[in-house]
Amino acid sequence: MGRRSLGGLGLAAAAAATIGTAAVGTVATTRPARAQAAGTIKVGIMHSLSGTMAISETPLKEVMLMLIDQQNANGGLLGQKLEAVVVDPASNWPLFAEKAKQLLSVDKCAAVFGCWTSVSRKSVLPVFEQLNGILFYPVQYEGQECSRNIFYTGAAPNQQAIPAVDYLMDTMHVKRWVLAGTDYVYPRTTNKILEAYLKSKGVAASDIMINYTPFGYSDWQGIVSQIKSFGSSGAKTAVVSTINGDANVPFYKELGNQGIKATDIPVVAFSVGEQELAGIDTKPLVGHLAAWNYFESVDSPANTQFIADFKKFAKNDKRVTNDPMEAAYIGFNMWVKAVEKANTTDTDAVIAALPGITAGNLSGDYSAMMPNHHITKPVLIGEIQGNGQFNIVYETPGTVVAQPWSPYLPESKDLIGDWLPPMSCGNYDVVKGKCLGSKAS
């Protein structure tokens, strides 16, 4: 596949952040286990099936239903069948909180798999902490958070954004940077981290252009013209894209309309995968990049089986797989193992059992749940191909430990997270020697 490796990144990240992540808000207190419906264990699926994020989130609902069916075919869990409870928060961020309350209080779900955007995750975070539920969050995010009740199976910035910038800087010799994102917490916080990181590498403020657009934005002509002008100085320029949802379709179309090729101004995207590319003509975009922790083009027996299983489940040989689907797959398998280890679906017992659990990823390696409630992941960068797939051009030599609290921001550089006793804290200040938030009881 023509892969290249920036050796040592995984070890460096692991050394820098053995257990880091942090929590905003209060930590849930211990409560009795939620009763299950007779003979079943309910599993919540909370993804937008309508609205601007449906293009990205609908496949996550489908893969979760597939995994639940497979588990039931293998005998269920603790002698009981799993029962999926599917809700549609409809790309409406406050509605996510209402649906979370329903899944925990009314449906009595043992665990919930859901959310895509960080604004939806932050909407439900206090619900899961107050009602002592478990959420598996399967999408890359901006870090700066570590909740006892959330297990983050997507990438932290040092597992996606920082390696992507390093690749562009070291391999493609990029000197000028366009940070383009959708206007919400994930792009703004990620770009804040990236701006600080670039400046720490000697990049001048005048060589960084930052732009935000609303969800569902479609009129890209003017902004793409600005990007083209910014990149005309003679210095190598790249776009780092945190544009989310269906706004990606007109953005990439306008790049093609204005003749911006990867050889001129490469774009590396953090929210564009195989599913998003399925909706556009990719031929003008060949050579542009995406940074993820999985691509459908990964060559491994586990991935071959996963792809075949999903196409069969979807009854459509043209369906594609992507990174958040792999993260959902890993998270589900970790939850099953933790329930089996604890021999109960009791929330507190399962939360305690999850750190240290390992599960196979689709690259042929294993991911581990760390005490910071994040998993270890490989980092891959792929070039868009004319068929909508990615040619992998870079991967770390091993898995990278998540570093959710950014060392490049002054407010978080001294923070780590570790939810195991005796620390039991998501935002421990190693300089002050104390937990800055509530401790787990």
| Rounded (10°) CA dihedral 254, 166, 298, 265 | 20
* pLDDT band with cut points at 50, 70 and 90 for residue 15: very low
pTM, rounded to two decimals: 0.87
Among 6-15, 137-146, 264-273, the minimum mean pLDDT is found in 6-15
Share of the chain above pLDDT 70, in %: 90
Binned at pLDDT 50, 70 and 90, residue 22 comes out as very low
CB neighbour class for 263 (10 Å; exposed up to 12, middle 13-18, buried from 19): exposed
Summarize the confidence of residues 104-125 as an average pLDDT. 97
Of 20-29, 60-69, 126-135, 284-293, give the lowest mean pLDDT range. 20-29
Confidence of residue 439 (pLDDT cuts 50, 70, 90): low
The structural architecture, per CATH, of the domain 19-155+303-377 is 3-Layer(aba) Sandwich (3.40)
**pLDDT band, residue 58 (cuts 50/70/90):** very high
Structure confidence by residue, pLDDT tens digits, 391-436: 999 999 899 999 999 999 999 999 999 999 999 999 999 999 999 9
For the segment 248-266, the average pLDDT, to the nearest whole number, is 89
pLDDT above 80 (res 263): yes
User: If pLDDT is split at 50, 70 and 90, which confidence band does 92 have?
Assistant: very high
Query: How does residue 52 score in pLDDT terms, banded at 50, 70 and 90?
Result: confident
53: which 2 tokens? 């994020």
Mean pLDDT on 260-278: 90
User: pLDDT class for 176, splitting at 50, 70, 90?
Assistant: very high
Cα–Cα dist 311/296, whole Å: 12
pLDDT tens digit sequence for 212-238: 999 989 999 999 999 999 999 999 999
Q: For 36-85, give the DSSP string.
A: PPTTEEEEEEE--SSSTTHHHHHHHHHHHHHHHHHHHHTT-BTTBEEEEE
pLDDT band at 120 (very low <50, low <70, confident <90, very high): very high
Q: What pLDDT is stored for residue 38 in this prediction?
A: 54
pLDDT at 32: 39
Lowest-pLDDT choice from 14-23, 148-157, 375-384:
14-23
pLDDT of residue 369: 98
Cα 418 from Cα 311, distance rounded (Å) = 39
Distance from the first to the final alpha carbon of the chain = 49
Q: What is the pLDDT of residue 55?
A: 87
Rounded distance between C-alpha atoms, residue 441 and residue 216, angstroms: 42
Sorted by where each begins, the domain ranges of the chain are 19-155+303-377
Residue 441 clears pLDDT 60, i.e. is over it? no
Question: pLDDT band at 272, cuts 50/70/90?
Answer: confident
Looking at every residue in the chain, the average pLDDT score rounds to: 90
User: With 50 as the cut, is the pLDDT of residue 288 above it?
Assistant: yes
Average pLDDT over residues 269-273: 89
pLDDT tens digits, residue range 184-215? 999 999 999 999 999 999 999 999 999 999 99
Single out the residue of 338, 440, 330 nearest to residue 25, CA to CA: 440
Of the ranges 240-244, 307-311, 338-342, which one carries the lowest mean pLDDT score?
240-244
Confidence of residue 24 (pLDDT cuts 50, 70, 90): very low
Q: Which of 99, 69, 101 is nearest to 83 (CA)?
A: 69
> Residue 119 pLDDT > 50, yes or no?
yes
The pLDDT, as a whole number, for residue 277 is 84
pLDDT at 10 over 50: no
| Residue 400: closest CA among 6, 3, 1 | 6
Burial label for 410, CB within 10 Å (0-12, 13-18, 19+), is exposed
pLDDT beyond 80 at 351 = yes
